Amino acid sequence: MTRSRGVVLLGIAGLVVVCVYLASALGVIRNVNNFTLSLVFAIGPVAIFGVLEISRRLATQPELPTVKLGQVFLVIAFALFTLMLVVQQTIVIRYRQLVTEAADSAHVETLRVAFGLVNQVQLGIDVCFDIFYCVGVVLLSVAMFQHRDFGKFVGVFGVVSATALLVFNLATFPGVPAESGLIDLGPLTGVWWILVIVLMMRSAMRQRTSRTDKPSLRAL
């Protein structure tokens, strides 16, 4: 398999997991089963592969120090993201099971209070993810300003959306922006990822076409 084809396949996988993330964040995915959980849990690992490929592409021009730093921050971020999702779903699924088995309303109320306390664990991990994620997106976006495959629009979009997301999350800590009357900007950074993935795929297909169009020595 050529590298350009690998980038295209990775891009397709990336688009799938970004769409899964957006669907779950916007409440489109409601029924949780092993299949949907597998898709959600795949977001982090696929994203790490994508971050490594994006960093490699950014290094094809004079590499800024923000590229390596952004790569490190985002790899850590998506490892934390996977941890957060697994802990979150473990807590939620077990809570729902216990509620269905509860003997009376008093038992249900006790479970509800316990859930509220335990659920703070995954919310804390989520904030850790946001810190590394937003800083990583900003660092890579800065490197995209002058890059031929991305450009200023994608760079500015990434810096602004990730900075605003981090500010909103820290300003409302330990709560979440949506509960404080602010907008959850996580899906907006998802749009940034879609732009980056599409541009990566376009660049890979363009390189593949240019290699195909070049006459071989044998043909000459």
User: So what's the pLDDT on residue 217?
Assistant: 42
63 inside domain = yes
Give pLDDT tens digits for 34-46. 777 777 888 888 8
131 inside domain = yes
3-state secondary structure of 175: coil
State the total domains in the chain. 1
Domain range holding 168? 3-203
| Residue 100 reports pLDDT greater than 50 | yes
Give pLDDT tens digits for 137-172. 999 999 888 888 888 899 999 999 999 999 998 988
Lowest mean pLDDT among 56-60, 90-94, 193-197: 56-60
209 inside domain = no
199 inside domain = yes
The first and second tokens of residue 148, run together, are 């031929």
219 inside domain = no
Give pLDDT tens digits for 170-199. 988 877 777 777 777 878 888 898 888 888
Distance, CA of 2 to CA of 6 (rounded, Å): 6
Higher pLDDT, 77 or 62: 77
212 inside domain = no
What type of residue sits at position 140? L
218 inside domain = no
Q: How many residues does the chain have?
A: 220
| Residue 29 reports pLDDT greater than 70 | no
Other Cβ atoms less than 10 A from the Cβ of 151: the count is: 13
Higher pLDDT, 3 or 165: 165
CA-angle at 31, arms to 97 and 15, nearest 5° = 130
Higher pLDDT, 22 or 216: 22
Cα 47 to its chain centre, rounded Å, is 6
67 inside domain = yes
| Residue 220 reports pLDDT greater than 50 | no
User: So what's the pLDDT on residue 59?
Assistant: 80
Instruction: State mean pLDDT over 70-82.
Output: 94
Cα 142 to its chain centre, rounded Å, is 18
**pTM for this model (two decimals):** 0.81
118: confidence class by pLDDT, cuts 50, 70, 90: confident
Task: Tell me if 11 sits within 8 A of 207, measured CB to CB.
Answer: no
